[in-house]
């Protein structure tokens, strides 16, 4: 009876929170961030890989937009759907490890985490990673108990989808091995069914490896460049401090210090298991911040097991629980309704998610005057946002890249080859340089693109009509 009531309460809560978040996204009028617009572009050209990420994010957007269209709400619908599903999986896992009360507590904590509140209104690779990590942990715990082929298969599928979502899913194997050692479950290493799960993961991940091989491993090189930037020079204590401070905003102003306390002193059932799937991810990304740079959200999967850990400890400590929830809900509401903070800071916290719709309309007006001209830019941001908000014919947008560098996805998939004699509309933040104009027979400055988002923030771009491309020869 308790389990049924807890499940029904959670279902109603998730429906209510999701409906509210749909309303927030639909009514906010916020434009797609550059990464979101780029992911939408990827979704128009489904592949097994992309310059900076594996393919699941594009597949999710392709699925949601095929159902309800290409509006911002539909592009972001994957987040609105997958977080409740991740919460449901967490509930089932917690119920298996603890009981229905702790499971409900863990689910409520998770769906109201500040990181989840923010990420639910955007589309990012963290969305799928959270889901796959939670599914994999549920399958791993279940398979250890049952040793059923189906449970090991589910683990392999979750790991495979996770690797196709974000490569940091590989840390799951590190955590699983750590638990095997700590719990002395060495029988797992001799279990053919466990290795079957690894094989399933490898087979699912293989198409992305093949795509990378065909394109000279751009995603691996991009990931390696990020890692290399984090292993050079002196220790970056400022980045380390910023990353640690960011975890208060990811997990909660009270939950994060409580997590530290539980790790050191708290008595919780299954602590070794949960620490094995929380600490490695957090420590790896913390070291990356110390040696270079790491965004606060990069350690997000830490908080799947961490939520279970803290929920198990908080049971019966209702004052702390209430305070933690109130703080997290308050942070979430400020994310959705930032007017009080905007007033205090005399800024606009959402400024980077505004203005591009207007810029798109302004560009489209110019494009209609020169319908044969192709969008050209030296900026990934411009190409991503204008392809979405202006929708040039055939989604044609070309990266200005005469040196054949590989800086982003548009360098990989667009080219100036075969476009001799074509006209272009160059959109750039910079004045027209002589070494750019020299590649064309003539150039003409057009009306610039401009929108004032806030008194402290504007979008300004030069536009040049470049006629009759002469080819990639020295200007």
Claim to verify: residue 183 and residue 328 sit in the same structural domain: yes
What radius of gyration, in Å, describes the C-alpha atoms of the chain?
24
If 0-12 CB within 10 Å is exposed, 13-18 middle and 19+ buried, where does residue 460 land?
A: exposed
Q: Beta strand 424-428 with 374-377: parallel, antiparallel or unpaired?
A: parallel
Same domain, 248 and 369: no
Q: How long is the chain? A: 475
Handedness of CA 244, 341, 356, 46 (dihedral sign): positive
- Contact between 255 and 320 under an 8 Å Cβ cutoff? The reply is no
The whole-angstrom distance between residue 251's C-alpha and the CA centroid of its chain comes to 16
- Helix (H, G, I), strand (E, B), or coil: what is residue 420? coil
Answer yes or no: is 474 within a domain: no
Same domain assignment for residues 216 and 234: yes
Measured from the Cβ of residue 316, the count of other Cβ atoms closer than 10 Å reads 8
Low-confidence ranges of the chain (pLDDT < 50): 475
Among residues 301, 325, 345, which one ends one of the domains?
345
Q: Which two structure tokens, joined as six digits, stand for 94?
A: 């917690």
Condensed to tens digits (0 to 9), the pLDDT of residues 19-46 reads 999 999 999 999 999 999 999 999 999 9
Closest CA to 280 of 256, 252, 312, 305: 305
- pTM, two decimals, is 0.94
Provide the pLDDT for residue 227. Answer: 62
- Give how many domains the chain has, as a whole number: 2
Tens digits of per-residue pLDDT, 129-153? Answer: 999 999 999 999 999 999 999 999 9
Q: Does 335 share its domain with 367?
A: no
Which pLDDT belongs to residue 232?
56
Is residue 21 located within the same domain as residue 58?
yes
End-of-domain residue from the set 345, 371, 393: 345
Determine the structural domain holding residue 99 and report its residue range: 2-345
The pLDDT mean for the chain works out to 93
Please spell the DSSP secondary structure of 390-417, one letter per residue: T--GGG-EEE--TT----SHHHHH---T
Residues 236 and 273 occupy one common structural domain: yes
H or E stretch covering 183: none
State the DSSP H helix or E strand holding residue 463, giving kind and residue range, or none if neither.
strand 457-469
């Amino acid at each position: 009876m308790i389990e049924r009531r807890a499940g029904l309460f959670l279902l109603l809560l998730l429906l209510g929170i999701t409906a509210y978040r749909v309303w927030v996204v639909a009514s906010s009028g916020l434009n797609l961030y550059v990464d979101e617009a780029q992911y939408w572009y990827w979704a128009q050209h489904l592949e097994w890989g992309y310059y900076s990420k594996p393919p699941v994010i594009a597949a999710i957007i392709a699925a949601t937009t095929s159902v309800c269209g290409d509006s911002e709400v539909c592009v972001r619908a994957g987040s609105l759907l997958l977080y409740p599903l991740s919460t449901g999986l967490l509930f089932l896992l917690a119920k298996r490890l603890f009981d229905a009360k702790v499971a409900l507590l863990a689910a409520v904590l998770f769906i109201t985490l500040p990181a989840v509140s923010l990420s639910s209104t955007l589309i990012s690779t963290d969305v799928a990673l959270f889901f796959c990590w939670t599914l994999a942990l549920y399958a791993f715990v279940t398979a250890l108990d049952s040793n059923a082929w189906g449970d090991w298969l589910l683990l392999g599928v979750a790991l495979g989808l996770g690797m196709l979502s974000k490569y940091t899913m590989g840390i799951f194997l590190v955590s699983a091995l750590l638990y095997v050692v700590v719990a002395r479950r060495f029988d797992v290493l001799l279990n053919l069914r466990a290795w079957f799960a690894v094989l399933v993961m490898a087979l699912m991940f293989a198409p992305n490896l093949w795509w990378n091989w065909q394109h000279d491993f751009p995603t691996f090189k991009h990931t390696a460049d990020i890692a290399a930037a984090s292993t050079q020079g002196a220790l970056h204590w400022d980045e380390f401090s910023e990353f640690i401070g960011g975890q208060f905003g990811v997990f909660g102003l009270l939950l994060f210090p409580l997590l530290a306390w539980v790790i050191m002193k708290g008595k919780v059932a299954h602590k070794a298991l949960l620490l094995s799937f929380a600490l490695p991810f957090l420590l790896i990304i913390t070291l990356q911040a110390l040696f270079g740079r790491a965004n606060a959200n990069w350690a997000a999967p830490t908080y799947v097991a961490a939520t279970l850990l803290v929920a198990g400890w908080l049971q019966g400590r209702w004052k702390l629980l209430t305070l933690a929830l109130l703080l997290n809900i308050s942070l979430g509401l400020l994310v959705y309704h930032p007017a009080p903070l905007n007033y205090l800071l005399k800024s606009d916290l959402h400024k980077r998610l505004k203005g591009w719709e207007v810029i798109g309309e302004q560009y489209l007006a110019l494009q209609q005057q020169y319908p044969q001209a192709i969008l050209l830019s030296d900026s990934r941001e411009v190409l991503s946002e204008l392809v979405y908000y202006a929708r040039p014919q055939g989604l044609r947008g070309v990266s200005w890249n005469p040196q054949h560098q590989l800086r982003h996805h548009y360098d990989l998939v667009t080219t100036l080859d075969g476009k001799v004699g074509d006209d272009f509309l160059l959109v750039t933040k910079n004045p027209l340089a002589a070494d750019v104009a020299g590649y064309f027979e003539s150039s003409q400055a057009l009306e610039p693109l401009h929108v004032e988002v806030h008194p402290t923030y504007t979008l300004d771009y030069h536009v040049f009509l470049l006629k009759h491309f002469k080819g990639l020869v020295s200007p």
